[in-house]
A and B are shown apart, each in its own frame.
With several copies, the nearest count.
Chain A
Amino acid sequence: MAPNYSRLEMMVVAASRLLCDGEKVLVGTGIPLVAAILAKKTHARGMVMVMEAVAFDSDPESLPFCVADPRAVYRTTWTPTSAEVMCHFLQSGKIDVGFLGGAQVDRFGNLNSTCIGAYGLPEKRFEGSGGASDIASLAKRTIIIMNHEKRRFVERVDYITSPGWKCRALDWKSDVMRADVGLDGGPHAVVSTLGVMKFDPSSKEMFVETYYDDLGVSIDDIRHMTEFEIDLSRARPMKPPTREELAVLREKVDPEGIYMRY
Chain B
Amino acid sequence: MTQTRKRIPIERVSEFVQDGDSVWLGGWTVVRKPFAMAYELIRAGKKNLHLVNNPGGPETDLLVGCGCAAKTETNYIGHELFGHPYNFRRRFEQPESNQGFRHDDWTVATGSLRIMAGAMGIPFIPTKFLRGSDILNPELDGFRDLRGIDPKVPKRKFMMLKDPFWEGEEVVLIPAIRPDVCLIHAQEAGEDGTVRITGGLFLDYYAAVAAKITIVSAEKIVSREALEDTREENAIPGEAVDAVVEAPFGAHPTAVHGCYDNDPWWFRDYLKASKNEGTMQKWVDEWIVGPGSFKGYLEKVGARRLGKITADPELSYSATIKRRLDKLEEVN
Asked whether the complex places CB atoms of A and B closer than 8 A, the reply is yes
Q: Which residue of A lies closest to B176 (CB)?
A: A92
The reply to whether the CB of B201 lies closer than 8 angstroms to some CB of chain A is yes
Q: Which residue of B lies closest to A52 (CB)?
A: B108
Whether A48 contacts B2 by the Cβ 8 Å rule is yes
Shortest Cβ distance from B169 into chain A, in angstroms?
A: 6
Q: What 1/0 flags go to A121-141 for Cβ under 8 Å of B?
A: 111111111111110011000
Shortest Cβ distance from A126 into chain B, in angstroms?
A: 8
Whether B138 contacts A172 by the Cβ 8 Å rule is yes
Q: A77-B228, A77-B238, A88-B209 are in contact. Are A82 and B112 (CB under 8 A)?
A: yes
Whether A127 contacts B84 by the Cβ 8 Å rule is yes
- Complex Cα distance, B206 from A81, in Å, reads 10
Q: A81-B112, A88-B119, A122-B92 are in contact. Are A133 and B135 (CB under 8 A)?
A: yes
Contact among B54, B106, B200, B315 for A54, CB-based, below 8 A: B200
Whether A46 contacts B3 by the Cβ 8 Å rule is yes
- Name 26 interchain pairs, CB-CB below 8 A, sorted by A: A56-B237, A57-B239, A61-B315, A65-B262, A70-B200, A73-B199, A82-B202, A83-B203, A86-B109, A88-B120, A88-B206, A114-B105, A126-B84, A129-B106, A129-B133, A134-B129, A137-B129, A138-B128, A161-B133, A167-B132, A168-B132, A168-B133, A181-B170, A183-B132, A256-B322, A258-B323
Whether A128 contacts B238 by the Cβ 8 Å rule is no
The reply to whether the CB of A91 lies closer than 8 angstroms to some CB of chain B is yes
The reply to whether the CB of A69 lies closer than 8 angstroms to some CB of chain B is yes
Shortest Cβ distance from B236 into chain A, in angstroms?
A: 8
Whether B199 contacts A79 by the Cβ 8 Å rule is yes
Q: What 1/0 flags go to B308-332 for Cβ under 8 Å of A?
A: 0001000111010011100000000
- Complex Cα distance, B74 from A82, in Å, reads 14
Q: Which residues of A contact B133 (CB under 8 A)?
A: 129, 133, 137, 160-163, 167-168
Q: Which residues of A contact B130 (CB under 8 A)?
A: 133, 137
Shortest Cβ distance from B134 into chain A, in angstroms?
A: 5
Segment 35-61 of A: residues with Cβ below 8 Å from B: 45-46, 48, 52-54, 56-57, 59, 61
Contact among B1, B54, B89, B171 for A59, CB-based, below 8 A: B1
Q: Which residue of B lies closest to A86 (CB)?
A: B109
Whether A92 contacts B132 by the Cβ 8 Å rule is no
Q: Which residues of A contact B261 (CB under 8 A)?
A: 70
Contact among B30, B129, B311 for A68, CB-based, below 8 A: B30
- Complex Cα distance, B183 from A201, in Å, reads 40
Contact among B32, B111, B131 for A137, CB-based, below 8 A: B131
Whether A89 contacts B323 by the Cβ 8 Å rule is no
Quick one: which of A22, A68, A94, A131 has the most chain B CB within 10 A? A68
Quick one: which of A88, A123, A178 has the most chain B CB within 10 A? A88
Contact among A80, A83, A114, A127 for B206, CB-based, below 8 A: A83
**Which of B15-23, B36-44, B75-83, B285-293 is found at the contact surface with chain A?**
B75-83
